[in-house]
């Protein structure tokens, strides 16, 4: 059986009234699910940052107004540091950042209504960006943001929880990071994910799974109609399952190209789970936006990635966690993969391949994005460049380069304060002393 190519596109009406509310409940957001259903109409229909404008029952609240006073400000883009700096955030947006003299008038303009955080003796950086994380609950989302990840890109969820969380983040940025949502996984065997959406039901009857161009296109279209910002697919089996072989290829270049083409028609890029050298190369040639994991990435593929601007998100923290797994098969796999992945990261960086940080965290075990920065440093990246993988670099990958990754005028008011110089020791980023999201202080 195959999907009829003349099947009508998915109905966006389901998104507003059913799927989004159910996803909010699954994410633990029952108290906020009314806000989701009221604003879901904006999801997937707004140019640029999807869902940025309010709709339905009203607009989300404005961001906070805050002065970060003192501390050493680091701009990852330029590498410039400013001692005894001041950052002025007004309604969630950076109004000014620099020396006391440069920011004096801006401080005066907001002083009567701004909260002040004293940062003396600390370093001040932009909020960090996790370019590959699986957030399915409010608990996990709050854990990620409290560890400094104020913007994230989802690596997919089983029942659209990431799309619901993205909408919830607009209403409560103190609990949920700003998110680029991937919806459900484009994989040969979706399993119980077909229960997430009535328009996925026909996929359950496919004898060979989601493999034909029509089936792949259908799954992409459903994701986009539900408000996904990006599409997640795979070329290899999982490393985190002892019954799967992560070097086994599940999609060929033609199938990957069909997924990429369908995503591009909807204005979305594709991130691709991959391990084997041939699989990675096929995915790059198919036009994916980023390679996830990419352990056995070959040098010819790296050259092609540099030429195309394809990103590498190695998820080193996930491999380090795998090496400590109680299952002996997974632990051995992690011990084997981690040093190979480190060498791949170092060589990719040397060749000019853009690298982004992602923890691949999920299921209650949320790693700090600072741990991924630390592992990038251990792989051989200079400290500033390791920091860039979770600031300017990751922001560019997920399409937020104009609002995330820096504390500069017009950027979103997201910041982390750390006790120590991250240019000397990046490990201080694993435990921020304070996190600011959209001008609000994030509670631990």
What one-character DSSP code corresponds to residue 244?
S
Please indicate, yes or no, if residue 420 is contained in any of the structural domains: no
- The pTM assigned to this predicted structure is 0.90
pLDDT for 167-199, tens place per residue? 999 999 999 999 999 999 999 999 999 988 999
> DSSP 3-state helix, strand, coil percentages of the chain (rounded to 5)?
40, 20, 40
Please indicate, yes or no, if residue 432 is contained in any of the structural domains: no
- What is the pLDDT, as a whole number, of residue 430? 98
Query: If you write DSSP's letter for every residue of 369-425 in order, what string do you get?
Result: HHHHHHHHHHTT--HHHHHHTTTHHHHHHTT-TTTSSS-STTSB--EEEESS-TTT-
Please indicate, yes or no, if residue 352 is contained in any of the structural domains: yes
Please give the average per-residue pLDDT across 97-107, as a whole number.
Answer: 98
Residue 119's region, left for phi above 0, alpha for psi from -120 to 50, else beta, is alpha
The mean pLDDT of the chain is 91
Residue 262: which domain range?
Answer: 128-403
Of the candidates 219, 143, 218, 213, the one whose C-alpha atom is nearest the C-alpha of residue 183 is 219
Task: Give me 354's structure tokens.
Answer: 């853009």
Query: How far is 1 from 94, CA to CA, in rounded Å?
Result: 54
CATH code for the domain of 186: 3.20.20.140
pLDDT at 48 > cutoff 90: no
| Cβ count near 7 (within 10 Å) | 13
Please indicate, yes or no, if residue 30 is contained in any of the structural domains: no
Strand partners, 130: 152
pLDDT at 29 > cutoff 70: no
Domain count, the chain: 1
Please indicate, yes or no, if residue 110 is contained in any of the structural domains: no
pLDDT at 50 > cutoff 70: no
pLDDT at 338 > cutoff 50: yes
- What is the pLDDT, as a whole number, of residue 20? 58
pLDDT for 289-322, tens place per residue? 999 999 999 999 999 999 999 999 999 999 999 9
Q: What burial letters (b/e) apply to 265-288, b meaning 16+ CB within 10 Å? A: eeebbbbbbbbbbbbbbbbbebbb
Please indicate, yes or no, if residue 102 is contained in any of the structural domains: no
Please indicate, yes or no, if residue 3 is contained in any of the structural domains: no
What one-character DSSP code corresponds to residue 60?
P
Query: How far is 144 from 112, CA to CA, in rounded Å?
Result: 32
- The burial of 133, by beta-carbon neighbours within 10 Å (0-12 exposed, 13-18 middle, 19 or more buried), is given as buried
Please indicate, yes or no, if residue 408 is contained in any of the structural domains: no
């Amino acid at each position: 059986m195959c999907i009829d190519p003349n099947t009508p596109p998915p109905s966006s009406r389901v998104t507003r009234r059913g799927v989004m509310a159910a996803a909010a409940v699954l994410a633990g957001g029952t108290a906020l699910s009314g806000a989701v259903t009221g604003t879901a109409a904006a999801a997937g229909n707004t140019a640029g940052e999807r869902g940025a404008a309010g709709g339905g029952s009203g607009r989300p609240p404005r961001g906070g107004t805050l002065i970060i006073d003192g501390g050493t400000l680091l701009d990852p883009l330029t590498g410039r540091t400013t001692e005894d700096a001041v950052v002025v955030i007004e309604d969630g947006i950076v109004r000014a950042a620099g020396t006391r003299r440069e920011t004096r008038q801006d401080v005066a303009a907001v002083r009567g209504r701004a909260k002040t955080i004293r940062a003396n003796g600390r370093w001040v950086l932009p909020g960090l960006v996790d370019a590959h994380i699986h957030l399915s609950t409010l608990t996990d989302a709050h854990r990620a943001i409290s560890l400094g990840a104020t913007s994230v890109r989802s690596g997919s969820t089983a029942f659209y929880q990431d799309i619901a969380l993205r909408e919830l983040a607009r209403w409560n940025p103190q609990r949920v990071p700003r998110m680029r949502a991937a919806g459900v996984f484009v994989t040969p065997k979706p399993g119980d994910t077909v229960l997430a959406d009535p328009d996925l039901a026909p996929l359950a009857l496919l004898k060979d799974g989601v493999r034909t161009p029509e089936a792949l296109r259908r799954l992409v279209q459903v994701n986009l109609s539900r408000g996904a910002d990006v599409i997640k697919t795979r070329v290899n089996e999982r490393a985190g399952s002892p019954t799967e072989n992560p070097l086994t290829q599940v999609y060929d270049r033609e199938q990957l190209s069909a997924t990429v083409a369908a995503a591009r028609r909807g204005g979305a890029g594709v991130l691709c789970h991959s391990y084997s050298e041939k699989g990675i190369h096929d995915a790059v040639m198919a036009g994916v936006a980023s390679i996830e994991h990419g352990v056995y990435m070959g040098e010819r593929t790296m050259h092609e990635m540099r030429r195309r601007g394809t990103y590498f998100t190695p998820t080193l923290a996930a491999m380090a966690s795998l090496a400590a797994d109680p299952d002996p098969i997974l632990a051995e796999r992690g011990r084997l993969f981690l040093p190979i992945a480190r060498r791949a990261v170092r060589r990719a960086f040397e060749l000019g391949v853009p690298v982004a940080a992602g923890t691949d965290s999920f299921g209650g075990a949320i790693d700090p994005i600072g741990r991924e920065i630390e592992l990038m440093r251990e792989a051989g990246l200079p400290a500033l460049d390791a920091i860039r993988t979770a600031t300017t670099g990751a922001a560019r990958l997920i399409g937020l380069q104009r609002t995330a990754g820096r504390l500069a005028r017009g950027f979103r008011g997201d910041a982390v304060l750390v006790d120590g110089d991250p240019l000397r020791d990046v490990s201080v980023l694993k435990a921020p002393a304070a996190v600011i999201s959209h001008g609000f202080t994030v509670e631990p």
